[in-house]
Amino acid sequence: MLYLEPSDPRWEAMLEHPRATTFHHPAWLHLLRSTYGYRVFIAAVSDGAGGVAAGLPIAEVSSVLTGKRWVALPFSDHCCPLAEDEAALATLVDGLAAAYADGAIPRLMVRSHLSHEALQPESTCVLHTLPLAGDERAVWKGMHSMHRQNTRYAEKHGVQVFERDDLPALRAFYRLQTLTRHRQGVPVQPWRFFARLGSLLEEGLGFVLLAVHDDDLCAAGVFLHWRQTLMFKYAASDPAQLGLRPNNLLYAQAIHWSCEHGVRQIDLGKTEIDNEGLRTFKKRWGADETPLVYSRLGGRSSPEQPGARLSRVMQWTIRHAPSWVCRASGEILYRHFA
């Protein structure tokens, strides 16, 4: 087994793999390292000719609250190993299982479904992916009429969407994100995460869409782009403005951008299985829904983790506390719940 730096040219060569996403990119891995202090590396196997036959980005999380573990990959909806063939993939997974058996790995969570007798699958979410064929008209025909009507409604009532890639746009998004997370009762990501995310946008790895009405920010989204996949990574909105249907216009603009830039699919992100409303909203855009299965080595299943129990207590507290509690809890605790 090889352990490489994310910037290793051998790993960078793997970014041309058809399954590579922004989550495999060194810029994303550096963002996790610089924001949360994780040790981030690539577990890989050699191809015998000086290159990499298979590899998986991993972060080592050391927490007094949730323990020590390897996660592939924190705050990333899914992250599969990249391999040149099935044999290389099997060698990589066998190596990880052997390292766990030898005590080199305390616990391992891979946000991808891997077939191995030592790995235990678990699934609490689904993934929605909107396939594109470059024909925007075909996408519009395939979506639910409600989304078409709501998009036209937003346009008719003066909602406008602006594409940005600068720090002020991220600050505007963060204000809405704090409002949204406070309402949901969950800590908001530290501001330093979004401030550093700006470097990815500068590299052309994403952008921000802002939906504005009469100079008021109604909704915003942060999108990540690599090769032929656009990810709708973060979304936030002002509940007082939802009647204008700004989120529909955000999605419509993302579809338009993707068709113009040769994107083959839009990753709409993970959704909890019991969130029927959001699942229906995403499927009505024409998105395919698939189970999001993770693979675990050691430890207990997610519902029994101490972090999950603490999260339920925090949810009630944050909802009923001032917004600064939402921000402060994120600054202090976010890194522990990778």
Query: What pLDDT is attached to residue 36?
Result: 96
pLDDT in tens, 295-332: 999 876 554 454 556 667 778 788 888 888 888 888 88
Whether 16 has a pLDDT exceeding 90, the answer reads: yes
The DSSP 8-state label assigned to residue 2 in this structure reads E
Residue 114 CB partners (closer than 8 Å, separation 6+): 81, 93, 295
pTM assigned to the model: 0.94
Query: What pLDDT is attached to residue 299?
Result: 75
Structure tokens belonging to residue 16: 């041309």
Query: What pLDDT is attached to residue 325?
Result: 87
Whether 286 has a pLDDT exceeding 60, the answer reads: yes
Query: What pLDDT is attached to residue 308?
Result: 58
Q: Looking at residues 35-54, what average pLDDT do you find?
A: 96
Whether 209 has a pLDDT exceeding 70, the answer reads: yes
- Give 240-309 as a DSSP string: GGGGG-HHHHHHHHHHHHHHHTT--EEEEEEEETT-HHHHHHHHTTT-EEEEEEEEEESS--GGGSHHHH
Whether 34 has a pLDDT exceeding 80, the answer reads: yes
Q: Looking at residues 232-237, what average pLDDT do you find?
A: 97
Average pLDDT, whole number, for the chain? 93
Whether 75 has a pLDDT exceeding 90, the answer reads: yes
pLDDT in tens, 138-186: 999 999 999 999 999 999 999 999 999 999 999 999 999 999 999 888 8
Q: Looking at residues 199-228, what average pLDDT do you find?
A: 97
d(CA 251, CA 236): 13
Q: Looking at residues 93-113, what average pLDDT do you find?
A: 94
d(CA 23, CA 196): 15
The answer to whether residues 75 and 231 touch, using CB atoms and an 8 Å cutoff, is no
Domains within the chain, CATH numbers bracketed: 1-115 (3.40.630.30), 127-294 (3.40.630.30)
Structure tokens belonging to residue 48: 């015998």
Whether 265 has a pLDDT exceeding 50, the answer reads: yes
d(CA 205, CA 22): 7
Query: What pLDDT is attached to residue 66?
Result: 86
Query: What pLDDT is attached to residue 140?
Result: 94
Query: What pLDDT is attached to residue 303?
Result: 43
